[in-house]
Structure 1
Amino acid sequence: MKKWLVTAAAFWLAACSSGEESKRYYQLPVIQNAAPVSVSQASRQLWVEQVTVPDYLAGNGVVYQTSDVQYTIANNNLWASPLDQQLRNALVANLSAQLPGWVVASQPLGAAQDTLNVTVTGFHGRYDGRVIVSGEWLLNHQGQLIKRPFHIEALQNQDGYDEMVKVLADAWKQEAASIAQALNRMP
C-alpha cells in the first residue's frame, strides 16, 4: 500500500512540475496622494460612472498585438482583477489628485455632479515596442454632452510584461491628465 501511495505522489508531483510557466498577475499602480475633500466643501463633483473595455480586453490575460491584424491574449500573464475595474479605480485616483477641490468618485454623488463614461478600445502592448491606450470619453456637464477621442502611443524602454504594464499605467495617467485639463476649462 505504501508503495502505491509513493508512486501516486511521485506522478502527481511530476504532473504539477511539468514545464508549464508559472502565472504572473498584474495590477495597475494607483496613486494615493489626493488630499481629502468633503462633498460639502467641494466646488465640483464628478462621478466616474463606468469604464468599459471590449471583449478582447475583458478577459484575464494581458493583451499583446503581434502584427497589424493579430492579437495574443496571454495565458500566464494575467490581470489580478478585471481590467475595467482597475482602469476605473486608477482614473478616479488620478483625477482626484489632479482636480483639487473636486470630489471624484466611482459612485453617484448627487444631483449637481458631472458624469464621466469612458470607452477604452485599446490597452495593450505592440510588436514594435509601443503600448497603445485608445478610446473615447463622454462627459455630461450640466446637461451638456462633451465627447472626446484619445489615442496614446508610448514607447517601452525594456522588454517584458512588467515594463509593458508600467508604460500602460503611465499612458492611462496621461489620459487622466488630459481629461482633468478639459474639466478645468469648463465653467
Structure 2
Amino acid sequence: MNTANNVGRSLGWLLVCALLLGGCLKPTTNNILYALQPVRQPPLGHDFTTSKELILLMPIQLAPHLQGRGLLTQRTSGEARASANHLWAGPLDQQISQQMVADLKDLLATDQVAAYPGPRYGVIRYQLEVDINEFSGNGRQFITTAVYTLSDSVRKTIVARKTFRQTRPIDKPEYSGYVDSGSQAVADLSREVAAALLSAHRSQPVPPIRP
C-alpha cells in the first residue's frame, strides 16, 4: 500500500514539474530590432573634395519622448505610444548621427565629415548641431521635425539655423515601412544641410592660413 502511495506521489510530482517546465518553456514574444539605413545620393557639389578641414557633427539631441528604444506610433488623441517589441537596434541619436555622417560624405564628395569628437588632431571648419523634436509615424505618414545650426568655427559665427519639417507617406503598413520612411527623412535632412554647407562655403572666401 505504501509503495503504491509513493509511486502515486512520485508521478504527481513528475506531472507538476512537467507542467511547470512547460510553462517556463512556452515561446515568449521576441523583440524585433530595426536600424536606419543610409540612402545613397549623388554629390551636390565638389567644393569640399580636396579640403583637409573637418565638418564636425555634434551629438544629436533628441526630444525626451524620443529617447526610448521602442518605435513610436502617433495616436489620433495626439499621444505617442512606444512599441514594447519593435525596438531600435541601438540608441536612436547614434543611428541618426551615423546616417548623417555617411549621407554628408556622399553629398559633399568628401571624407572630411565626422561625428563628435572627431579625429584627435583634425582641424574643424564647420560645426553642425541637430535637435530632433519629432521622429515618428502614425501608420500612414512619418513625421520629422528638426532644427539644425551650422557654425563656422574659423570665423566663430553661425552661418545657418533652420527648421526642417517633413511629413512623408509610409509605403508599407509594417514597421519596416516606418523605418524606411525614417531613413529617407534623415537622408532628406542631410541633403538640406549639405546644400546649406555649400552655400555658406561659396559665399565666404576661405580665410588665409594662420602662420
Fold-level similarity (TM above 0.5): yes
Distance in 2, Cα, partners of 1:81 & 1:6: 43
Contact kept in structure 2, 1:43 and 1:102, CA below 8 Å = no
Q: Which has the higher strand share?
A: 1
Q: Which runs of 5+ in 1 are unaligned?
A: 35-40
Which of 23-32 and 139-148 deviates more? Answer: 23-32
After superposition, the CA RMSD in angstroms is 2.8
Mapping for residues 25-104 of structure 1, pairs under 5 Å:
25-30=33-38, 41-101=50-110, 103-104=112-113
**Partner in structure 2 of residue 37 of structure 1:** none
Distance in 2, Cα, partners of 1:53 & 1:104: 21
CA shift in 2, pair 1:49/1:125, >3 Å? same
**Partner in structure 1 of residue 163 of structure 2:** 149
Please tell me whether Structure 1 or Structure 2 has the larger radius of gyration of its CA atoms.
2
- Size of the aligned set, in residue pairs, is 182
Q: TM-score, normalised by structure 2?
A: 0.76
**Partner in structure 1 of residue 143 of structure 2:** 132
Q: Which runs of 5+ in 2 are unaligned?
A: 1-9, 43-49, 202-211
Identity of aligned residues (%): 21
User: Which of 113, 118, 138 in structure 2 is aligned with 1:108?
Assistant: 118
1:2 deviates by 8.8
CA shift in 2, pair 1:99/1:4, >3 Å? farther
1:182 partnered with 2:196: yes
Which of 149-158 and 102-111 deviates more? Answer: 102-111
1:14 deviates by 2.3
Which of 105-114 and 66-75 deviates more? Answer: 105-114
Q: Which amino acid aligns with 1:55?
A: P
1:21 partnered with 2:21: no
CA shift in 2, pair 1:100/1:5, >3 Å? farther
- How far does the alpha carbon of each residue in 1:14-51 deviate from its partner, in whole angstroms, 9 at most, with x for none? 24526x532111111136899xxxxxx52542000111
User: Which of 111, 128, 131 in structure 2 is aligned with 1:119?
Assistant: 131
Distance in 2, Cα, partners of 1:68 & 1:46: 41
Q: Which amino acid aligns with 1:21?
A: T
Contact kept in structure 2, 1:50 and 1:116, CA below 8 Å = no
